[in-house]
Chain A
């Protein structure tokens, strides 16, 4: 089980449902919800100022693409630019209802993105994700 994951999505109902799914699948001990990319960026800024421990850094970020203020792609760019060091450790799972094939391609090309999941998120998806080659090591240790 991961200690900490993030869910970045502007939809409150989605956030609530995601929480439920992470809980039921025992995927993470704690899931912090952020309503857009900017809120999450602020979190990392504060973390830097207060000398945050690895405990405060999420193992996985579930990221929606279409969001106000700072969208998914912009969030990834800002993270890469400002928090290069911490960011290399963080795995990103895109969670989007986008049918745009260009977005899928962009996700494939991004080194941080390990998976592109199409909404809605299901219990099965998360259970499968537990065995993802880029996540299993950390995960099997926890469970």
Chain B
């Protein structure tokens, strides 16, 4: 806008005398103002299209247009500057009415003087600017609401929707003009009517109260849609005077949740059945097996005189105990599945290493192995103590079992911190394995890759089960006649500052 002194003023006035009078006062009020004169409305409109104008002074009786008609015509133009209406004394009523049509002010020609004109023009321009800003801001706000992916609705105290956004109408499937609300019969799902009413009355009863809820509403197609909603009581706010309801359609999410729930309940059921089945199977296997053991215990060996019978019975005894060991191992593997994280404690790797090497002492001495370890960079781990002992035992005895006859066995155990937890490695220089052949089967149940007589094919299976049960993992790398390295990754470790 130009500064008041350099005002661009358009005077639309067919009466030459009136024009001169107004122009005089104008020059008095704004000496530098540029005055453009049109005698016809059409002429004035042409001027408006051609150059920027700061204010229009409009006579209401023109040769080509009169009163209200002139104002409407001007107001229809885009970017119209503020308008001040000039009336004769007889026309004063029209002037007052014209304010309702969006003009900024009216002046009775006989009352005009420089001061009145100056004040009216300055006020009009300022008011117009502020109104423009408000309209702009309102427009932006509307657009935010209308283009939001959330539906927005205003509810009265009774819970009827009195206004809703386009998105709201789109989500609900009802035109914005249709009066619906929580009182509309059948709109809410029968299972949630009570819940929604309770929630709404809680919201209404407290100023500024905000509450959330998920519930279903019926669309015009007769389908229920799930809404995630948020009610905000702004009844006290004179500008809003409503409960503001924000909502989005979560039907597909709810459907997924429902399917997931169904799936989990089915899995839980079949899991429980499986567990039961395992117990029954183990029991049925165990019953005759315990009898066999009992029989062996009751045999009075010194009374057996026949050598052949004695040998056969000895073999029977050995096989029976083997069968018993296998069954016990299998049971142990099953029980791992039931473990939970509650038994996890912080354990020192060095303690565990000492304990296990002590218990395996005779085996280690027998194979003349050296075991080195380094737990400096990650001395502790959060894990189940029984599992960790079993892991150390299994992996060390595994290395002892598969030592190379050509060299002295060396086992190196190390821990270190990695990005997602702690890594523990067991490296040996034993006979190794052909990983291309074995692959991941190494951790399978009853997989045996050597014709070693005391291998039952369960140790590594147990290690993997124990790691997996507590969210960890195990990997293996191996080369024939070079050695094998097991890498264990412990996840969910506490973070230390």
Give A residues with C-beta under 8 Å from B: 11, 13-14, 17, 20-21, 24, 66, 97-100, 119-123
CB distance from A140 to the nearest CB of B (A): 26
Give B residues with C-beta under 8 Å from A: 279-280, 282-283, 286-288, 290-291, 293-295, 297-298, 331, 335
A120 contacts which of B280, B297, B331, B335 (Cβ < 8 Å)?
Answer: B297
In the complex, the chain B residue whose C-beta lies closest to that of A24 is B298
Known: A13-B291, A99-B331. A119 touches B297 (CB 8 A): no
Pairwise interchain contact B279-A100, C-beta atoms closer than 8 A: yes
* Alpha-carbon separation in the docked complex, A100 to B281 (Å): 12
B293 contacts which of A21, A66, A120 (Cβ < 8 Å)?
Answer: A120
Q: Which residues on A sit within 8 Å (CB–CB) of B280?
A: 66
Pairwise interchain contact A122-B297, C-beta atoms closer than 8 A: yes
In the complex, the chain B residue whose C-beta lies closest to that of A124 is B297
Name the prevailing secondary structure of the A interface residues. loop
* Alpha-carbon separation in the docked complex, A123 to B295 (Å): 11
A17 contacts which of B279, B282, B295 (Cβ < 8 Å)?
Answer: B295
B279 contacts which of A21, A98, A121, A122 (Cβ < 8 Å)?
Answer: A98
* Alpha-carbon separation in the docked complex, A24 to B294 (Å): 13
* Alpha-carbon separation in the docked complex, A121 to B294 (Å): 7
* Alpha-carbon separation in the docked complex, A14 to B288 (Å): 8
* Alpha-carbon separation in the docked complex, A56 to B384 (Å): 51
A14 contacts which of B283, B291, B335 (Cβ < 8 Å)?
Answer: B291
* Alpha-carbon separation in the docked complex, A11 to B298 (Å): 17
Q: Which residues on B sit within 8 Å (CB–CB) of A120?
A: 290-291, 293-294, 297
Pairwise interchain contact B287-A20, C-beta atoms closer than 8 A: no
Q: Which residues on A sit within 8 Å (CB–CB) of B282?
A: 97, 99
* Alpha-carbon separation in the docked complex, A38 to B39 (Å): 120
CB distance from A2 to the nearest CB of B (A): 20
CB distance from B370 to the nearest CB of A (A): 39
B294 contacts which of A17, A66, A98 (Cβ < 8 Å)?
Answer: A17
Q: Which residues on B sit within 8 Å (CB–CB) of A14?
A: 287, 290-291, 294
Pairwise interchain contact A98-B283, C-beta atoms closer than 8 A: yes
* Alpha-carbon separation in the docked complex, A17 to B282 (Å): 21
A20 contacts which of B283, B286, B298, B331 (Cβ < 8 Å)?
Answer: B298
CB distance from A125 to the nearest CB of B (A): 10
Q: Which residues on A sit within 8 Å (CB–CB) of B291?
A: 11, 13-14, 17, 120
Q: Which residues on B sit within 8 Å (CB–CB) of A13?
A: 288, 291
Pairwise interchain contact B298-A119, C-beta atoms closer than 8 A: no
CB distance from B296 to the nearest CB of A (A): 9
Q: Which residues on B sit within 8 Å (CB–CB) of A98?
A: 279, 283
* Alpha-carbon separation in the docked complex, A123 to B294 (Å): 9
* Alpha-carbon separation in the docked complex, A97 to B293 (Å): 12
Q: Identify 23 residue pairs between A and B in the complex whose beta-carbon atoms are under 8 Å apart, listed by A's number.
A: A14-B290, A14-B291, A17-B294, A17-B295, A20-B298, A66-B283, A66-B287, A97-B283, A97-B286, A97-B287, A98-B279, A98-B283, A99-B279, A99-B331, A119-B286, A119-B287, A119-B290, A120-B290, A120-B294, A120-B297, A121-B294, A122-B297, A123-B298
* Alpha-carbon separation in the docked complex, A100 to B293 (Å): 21
In the complex, the chain A residue whose C-beta lies closest to that of B294 is A120
Pairwise interchain contact A21-B283, C-beta atoms closer than 8 A: no
CB distance from B281 to the nearest CB of A (A): 11
* Alpha-carbon separation in the docked complex, A20 to B297 (Å): 11
Q: Which residues on A sit within 8 Å (CB–CB) of B335?
A: 99
In the complex, the chain B residue whose C-beta lies closest to that of A18 is B294
A122 contacts which of B286, B288, B294, B331 (Cβ < 8 Å)?
Answer: B294
Q: Which residues on A sit within 8 Å (CB–CB) of B288?
A: 11, 13
Candidate in B297, B331, B335 with the most chain A CB atoms within 10 angstroms: B297
CB distance from B325 to the nearest CB of A (A): 14
In the complex, the chain B residue whose C-beta lies closest to that of A16 is B291
CB distance from A8 to the nearest CB of B (A): 14
In the complex, the chain B residue whose C-beta lies closest to that of A98 is B283
Pairwise interchain contact B298-A97, C-beta atoms closer than 8 A: no
* Alpha-carbon separation in the docked complex, A96 to B157 (Å): 69
Q: Which residues on A sit within 8 Å (CB–CB) of B293?
A: 120
Q: Which residues on B sit within 8 Å (CB–CB) of A123?
A: 297-298
* Alpha-carbon separation in the docked complex, A119 to B287 (Å): 8
In the complex, the chain A residue whose C-beta lies closest to that of B328 is A99
Q: Which residues on A sit within 8 Å (CB–CB) of B295?
A: 17
Known: A17-B295, A120-B297. A97 touches B290 (CB 8 A): yes
CB distance from A7 to the nearest CB of B (A): 13
CB distance from B262 to the nearest CB of A (A): 27
* Alpha-carbon separation in the docked complex, A121 to B290 (Å): 8
* Alpha-carbon separation in the docked complex, A24 to B297 (Å): 12
B298 contacts which of A17, A66, A99 (Cβ < 8 Å)?
Answer: A17
CB distance from A120 to the nearest CB of B (A): 4
CB distance from A116 to the nearest CB of B (A): 15
Add 15 more A-B contacts to A97-B282, A120-B291, A120-B293 (CB < 8 A). A14-B294, A17-B298, A20-B298, A24-B298, A97-B286, A97-B287, A99-B279, A99-B282, A99-B286, A119-B286, A119-B290, A119-B294, A120-B294, A122-B294, A123-B297
